Chain A
Amino acid sequence: MSLKILFFTSPTCSWCPYLEGVLRHIIKEIDHLELEIIDVTKDISRAGEYEIVAIPTIVLPNNQRIIGSADETFLRKQLDFFLTLGS
């Protein structure tokens, strides 16, 4: 079973390409994680469903959200926290 991490982006977000790269890099190393990238300007229904307000938003399967861009260490820390304590 793989868990889905949702990554909400938009074309006007300047931090998103960097964050997306970092996220892909981290997720590649973890087996049962999958990344779904959603452009809010194209897929409004998903944005509405998850009540997305700010960009970038990363929605983790345990209902935790990371709002705003961050560096790799910060993201790793958050994901480790989720992988060890979450699910």
Chain B
Amino acid sequence: MIISTGIEELDKMIDGGLRTSFCYAIKGTAGSGKTVLSLFMTLGALKAEIPVLFISTEVDIEKLMIYGKSFNMNLESYVEKGLLHLEKMSLKPLGTNLVQTDQFNLSAIIARTKTKMKEINAKMIIFDSISAFFADFKYEKTARSNFMDFIREITNEDAVLVLTAESQMSEEYSTIEEFLVDGVIKIRTELKNNQLIKRISIPKLRSAKPINFENRFIINRDGISILRSEQPPISTIHEESSGIEKLDNLLGGGIPSGSVVLVEVDGETNYFPLFLSTLCYHLEKEKGVIIHSNVHMYSSRILEDFKKADCDIEPFMNKGNIVFIDKYNRSVTAIEAREMSQLMTTDDMISVTVELMEAFQKSKQKVVIYGDLTDDVNILSETEFLRYFALQSFNIKEKRAVAYSFINFNAISREMLARLRTTADIIIRFSREDYTTYMECMKSSTGATFLPKVVKYKDKMPLIEIVD
């Protein structure tokens, strides 16, 4: 059974959620939000009607209720419903004196916990915190080794055990808790620009690959939000098909989302078969397609070419899955256009594209962008163009889209080509010798490049075929 933590981003970090018969530790320095996180985890389970036993070793039950209230949690209502039980457990109750020896075990907490678990049928047990619990023991080592039995006995009952533990500022790794548990959720605080910033990471996760990225961890009254770091975990990058099976195989499975594919052609080679084949595939897959139209790529020509290939894309066009952005302001007359700037400003281009990408993403559609850069390089000033290309690539990476940028390498300077190649993630180059066209991959973010392969054009979709 997998129990959601109630925090979507955290679920993703721990491979879907908390697993029953697993034990997790929330580690963090004092005031980092361990108790708050465990309370929100409790709430997450309670909302899914999963009974929770919350064992507090430092804070009194009444205080815990008040604590919950300050985060808009009505814990009392869950207690009344019988879904939640809060229990105080500490070695030294108020007003008692202790004499200790090292010959003891912790069977009392095991028995107490198990009974309470059975009473409310709890599937999640929160133990907050083991540091405070062990602090009362004179023979802490014995207590800690006996605590292993507690972990074993509780996780055997098909329940999740979540422990919170305080870590010292200097402590890098490996206190006893970290060896025992199946997963470690670590909260780190750091002072940056006079602001206390919290970061969350998963240094250990059994049965799954731990994610070594630290994400921002923000606590506010309404809940916990985790902001994913700029760099997404490798596991979330997935490859998208280009629509041409052979090309996917050669690229090692497809094109990773967030890639800019630079397709280099000489002036005589027609890149349209590649363009149309991938376009057709993406439209069939109901993806959002944005085309930065120019003298070659404009709607009526694309429609005609599709008709020639016996492929009907009109329904997709009517669905609104394909949007043309007109860079040349063809809506104004030729004279007006000459008087005005002939182009949309690059900033406009970028903001319109980003808005469209967001709109597609809202309707859960993957986004593919097409554009022919050749004219832009020659019309825009060099700095302006490079800025445009870099910003566009950045947006594509951030929005996990895929962009196909076509370029005529004979029409631009070598220096500019070199700069474009640096920014692009995948470079596919068409070349010709006599009457044979070749395709090669010169660079690939996955490392799967390939030597020139013969390309054959066909008159049915897909219009392009790669021959070994």
Contacts and interface: CB of A to CB of B under 8 A. Distances in A.
Interface of A: 8, 10, 12-13, 15, 40-41, 44, 47-48, 50-57, 63-70, 74, 78
B105 to A, nearest CB: 6
Interface stretch (B107-115, B214-222, B359-367, B387-395): B107-115
B109 A53 contact: yes
Given A51-B88, A51-B89, A64-B96, A12 B107 contact: yes
Contacts of B90: 51, 53
B112 A56 contact: no
Contacts of B88: 51
B315 interface: no
20 contacts: A8-B108, A10-B108, A12-B107, A44-B115, A47-B111, A50-B93, A51-B90, A53-B91, A53-B106, A54-B91, A54-B106, A54-B146, A55-B107, A57-B104, A65-B96, A65-B98, A65-B99, A66-B101, A67-B100, A74-B101
B98 A67 contact: yes
Contacts of B107: 10, 12-13, 40-41, 55
A72 B139 CA distance: 20
B contact face: mostly helix, strand, loop, or mixed: mixed
Of the listed residues B87, B95, B103, the one surrounded by the most CB atoms of chain A closer than 10 A to its CB is B103
A68 B102 contact: yes
Contact of B105 (A50, A55, A70): A55
B96 A68 contact: no
A78 B45 CA distance: 47
A49 B104 CA distance: 20
Contacts of B102: 68
B97 interface: yes
A47 B89 CA distance: 11
Given A68-B102, A70-B103, A57 B96 contact: no
A64 B104 contact: no
A55 B89 CA distance: 14
Contacts of B115: 44
Given A67-B100, A70-B103, A53 B95 contact: no
